[in-house]
Structure 1
């Protein structure tokens, strides 16, 4: 039987190779209890050799770095603008929209000026600011506690504001789509709010540039299969394109 040090070294190698592994699979592999594996993973997480996740661990190299809104504005801006152009074509006059916080969704907000008679609810302070001067858009906010890094509101107040509302479309930004085709974000309360958003919308449109594929935030919003439309750029890895197709997700690709 391997020593604790040898087992933990092997766990790091396995997680790095697989990208993500579950506690039970590791317990079976090393013929030890799940309690022992959890202790291993917690220790390795503290040493930053992997990232502890719900039910398992994720390779540290696969965790997307969370940028502030200011930093995100400088990242892939031209691609985000093209994604927004494609998104706008799916929005009709007179619709009720739910617009997630983020810089890609902010580009969508900037392009709504030509639309008529819209109602847009958002959890993003930056989104509301972009919409404030549009006479044909009725702006609503979720309320809640403001997270300054992402300029997004979250919490029970934000979630309860959506409970009795229904939207034609949700425009959702994400921090990562990992190898298991899970849609993820960095912040736990944001993931919780996003799940409520998804339940409130007739159609879910995910907008993300290709750099987010193969990366993972720490908290899962849901599976790719819950998405109706995915809008991204032409550098999307083929594996994710195939996964989206198998999940019956419509893919719109911009150059």
Structure 2
């Protein structure tokens, strides 16, 4: 059995390498019980060296607070730009697509220059305004209660409209992706609308920079089994990529 100091150092080293660790993996690697590992994680959290999560731990605070879109748009901007540009290339002529809200999907909207006609249904006011001038894009703006922090709408009116549509793709931005808990956002009503969007789409493509992984927002959107593809950047942990791919998700990692 490893000593206390050796175990703690192994946990910190694993976190620095992977970004996230799981209790069961640490039990196997260190040949100790889950009770011992959980005590180690509690000790290290008390020392402000990690944050415990369900079934494991992470180096960064996994719980996200709501922030205005004008503040978030400049965070990870290089990564979001690359993700948005790549995602725009997935649009096909005569597509009918859904675009959710968030800063990454706004970067995506800036790069939409379709060959042929495309119909876009969106909850995000800034997305609608960004693409409204394009002659080849027909925009359907969902209505409802406007969230000022995200410049997007939520609520029963937006959800009811979606019942009348069947879209080829949903481009979804999220606040957090947790390997166990799934996809989350900081607002419960937005999470509910996102679920309706997933139901109205044949394929869900998540646009998320690497900082979103291992994080959790207040409102759960769905489990990982409900999405088909994630587009992210190369700062993501390879361990997380391997776990996602093992679950059948197509993961596109873009160099930054």
TM range (shorter): 0.7 to 0.9
Moved over 4 A (4+): none
Equivalent position of 1:245 in the other structure: 245
Q: Distance in 2 between matches of 1:247 and 1:213?
A: 16
1:125 lines up with 2:125 in the alignment: yes
Tell me the alpha carbon deviations over residues 134-192 of structure 1, each in whole angstroms, 9 at most, x when there is no partner: 11100001101100011110000010010121000000000001241510111000000
Tell me the alpha carbon deviations over residues 16-71 of structure 1, each in whole angstroms, 9 at most, x when there is no partner: 564137xxxxxxxxxxxxxxxxxxxxxxxxxxxxxxxxxxxxx9932023321101
Structure 1: gaps of 5 or more residues = 1-9, 22-58
Cα contact 2:206–2:229 (8 A) shared by 1: yes
Cα contact 1:225–1:244 (8 A) shared by 2: no
Aligned residues: 209
Equivalent position of 1:173 in the other structure: 173
Give the deviation of 1:93 after TM superposition: 1.2
Measured on the aligned residues, the alpha-carbon RMSD in Å equals 2.2
Matches within 5 A, 1:202-213: 202-213=202-213
Please point out which of 20, 25, 39 is paired with 2:54.
20
1:147 lines up with 2:147 in the alignment: yes
Query: TM-score by structure 2 length?
Result: 0.76
Equivalent position of 2:64 in the other structure: 64
Equivalent position of 2:186 in the other structure: 186
Cα contact 1:98–1:170 (8 A) shared by 2: yes
Equivalent position of 1:27 in the other structure: none
Cα contact 1:181–1:243 (8 A) shared by 2: no
Identify if the C-alpha distance between structure 1 residues 103 and 60 changes in structure 2 by more than 3 Å, giving closer, same or farther. closer
* Matched position secondary structure for 2:215: coil
* Matched position secondary structure for 1:231: strand
Structure 2: gaps of 5 or more residues = 1-38, 46-50
Q: Distance in 2 between matches of 1:214 and 1:71?
A: 21
Query: TM-score by structure 1 length?
Result: 0.77
Equivalent position of 2:14 in the other structure: none
Point out the more displaced range, 99-108 or 188-197: 99-108
Cα contact 1:19–1:179 (8 A) shared by 2: no
